Structures are given as structure tokens and as C-alpha cells.
Copies of this chain bind each other. A is one copy, B any other.
Amino acid sequence: MTTLTPKQQEIHRRQDQVLDVARSLFGRFGYLGLSMDRIAAELGVAKGTIYQHFANKEEIILALAVGTLEKRIGMFERAALFRGRPRSRMAAIGCAAELFVIRYPDHFELEKVLSCRSIIEKTAENLQRNKTAAELRCISLVGGIVRDAVACGDLELAEPVQPDQVVFGLWSATYGGYSILDCGETIRQMGITDGFRMVREVNNRLLDGFGWKPLSTRFDYNAIFDQVRREIFHDHP
């Protein structure tokens, strides 16, 4: 286990170096500006060496996305520790999600590239599973809070509605909302200025629609956001 030759350690380190360089290049020049040749040049090694670690640039991008997803999991876990009724804890998760998109703005771009069929198809399935697994961890964390709410009576789901449906709704609205804000001129043309407030509002109304108490019309969840920011994520930008 711990018996790694110096050489093997060097190889391990280089894997991270490749990702660092790739992240920088992707951030600066985007998907089309990222190339194996450039990574190799920037790192001062031959191209063949990069191929020892990753089969193509798509797998590098996938690895970058998994990396930031793990950051998000960490933030969600910290947020989930917030003390309060389930809906407040859910607001804390919302706050974490918001801070995540601010702190890791490139993540969305990675996500969008990987959502293209012909691009993700170039990656090995077992690597794709890493990403799915990370997503499922986020989802189950959120699902747990929904179930807590059901258990304590704050949320009553009429027969056919399942807790996962609530999670799906939050995920849709949040992912969709940030996607729309992130890309395209359209939103600016609509005269929308404070996108984050907008996403919060939509999520609040959605949970109100499921009847999750206390309703956002009777309780100020923006205050929770501020509190979570102060108490849990004070070290964040």
C-alpha cells in the first residue's frame, strides 16, 4: 500500500499537475481551446506521457467535473449540519448550492460540455460512473432532508407523490435556473437583474406548492441564507 517507489509517487503527482494545467486551460480557452498538445507543452512533458493518465481530453474534463462535484458534496454536507426545522436545513443546502456556483464558476461549463452526447461518449463508462455516484450522493443527502420533513409532519405528501419527486423538482429548478442565468443573452433581455434571488424565489415557491411548512410566505428564508453564510461558510468568498 504505502510502498510506492519515488518514481510512482512522481507519476501520481503528475496526474494532479495535468488536471491543474487542464483546469486552467479550460477556464481560459474553453472546450475547443483545450488540447493534449497544449497541456503537454505547458507541463513540459511529451504528449505520450499525458496519454498514460487519460485516454483523451474528454476524460480529463470528466475528472475535473468529478473533482468539483466532490467539493460540492463537501459543502452540502457542511450545510446539512445546520440546526433547524427541515425546511430551514433545505434552505441551508440552497445556500451551499449558491456559494458553490460562485466559488467554482467553471463547474457549469464542464457540466455543459459533458452533457453533450458525442462528447461524454468518448469517456470510459467506469469513469462516468464516478460522476453519477457523486451526483447520487448529493441527491440522497437532499432526499434525507425531505424524508425528515415527512417524518416530522412538516411535509405531507399526497398519495402518488414521492419524496424523490420533491428532490427532482429542486434539482430541476436549480440546475435549470443557474443554466439559464449562466448562458445566453436572453435573460438579460428579459430585464432580470438579480438571478440568485430569482432562483431562491422559485425554489421557495416550489416547496410552498408541495405544502412544506413553514411556507415561505410565513417565514423569511433569506434570513437563513444570511445566517448559514455567516455561521457555516464564513471562510467562503
- Neighbour of A192 across the interface among B116, B158, B164, B198, CB < 8 A: B164
Size of chain A's interface in residues, with CB distance under 8 A?
59
**In the complex, A29 Cα to B119 Cα: how many Å?**
11
By beta carbon, the residue of chain B nearest A164 is B190
> By the criterion CB–CB under 8 Å, are B132 and A189 in contact?
yes
Segment at the interface with B among A43-51, A72-80, A175-183: A175-183
> Which residues of B have CB within 8 Å of A112?
112, 115-116
In the complex with contacts A115-B112, A177-B172, A139-B206 CB distance below 8 A: no
> Which residues of B have CB within 8 Å of A129?
185
> By the criterion CB–CB under 8 Å, are A185 and B132 in contact?
yes
Which residues 52-99 of A have a CB within 8 angstroms of B? none
**In the complex, A142 Cα to B224 Cα: how many Å?**
32
**In the complex, A161 Cα to B217 Cα: how many Å?**
12
- Neighbour of A136 across the interface among B122, B186, B209, CB < 8 A: B186
> By the criterion CB–CB under 8 Å, are B122 and A117 in contact?
no
Q: Is A14 an interface residue (CB 8 A)?
A: no
**In the complex, A227 Cα to B175 Cα: how many Å?**
31
The 8 A CB mask of A154-193 against B (1 = contact, 0 = none) is 0000100100110111011111110110011111011110
Q: Is A201 an interface residue (CB 8 A)?
A: yes
Which residues 184-221 of A have a CB within 8 angstroms of B? 184-187, 189-192, 198-199, 201-202, 204-210, 217
> By the criterion CB–CB under 8 Å, are B202 and A172 in contact?
yes
> By the criterion CB–CB under 8 Å, are A116 and B118 in contact?
no
Q: Is A237 an interface residue (CB 8 A)?
A: no
**In the complex, A165 Cα to B113 Cα: how many Å?**
28
Report which A residues bind B (CB closer than 8 A).
29-33, 109, 112-113, 115-122, 128-129, 132, 135-136, 139, 158, 161, 164-165, 167-169, 171-177, 179-180, 183-187, 189-192, 198-199, 201-202, 204-210, 217
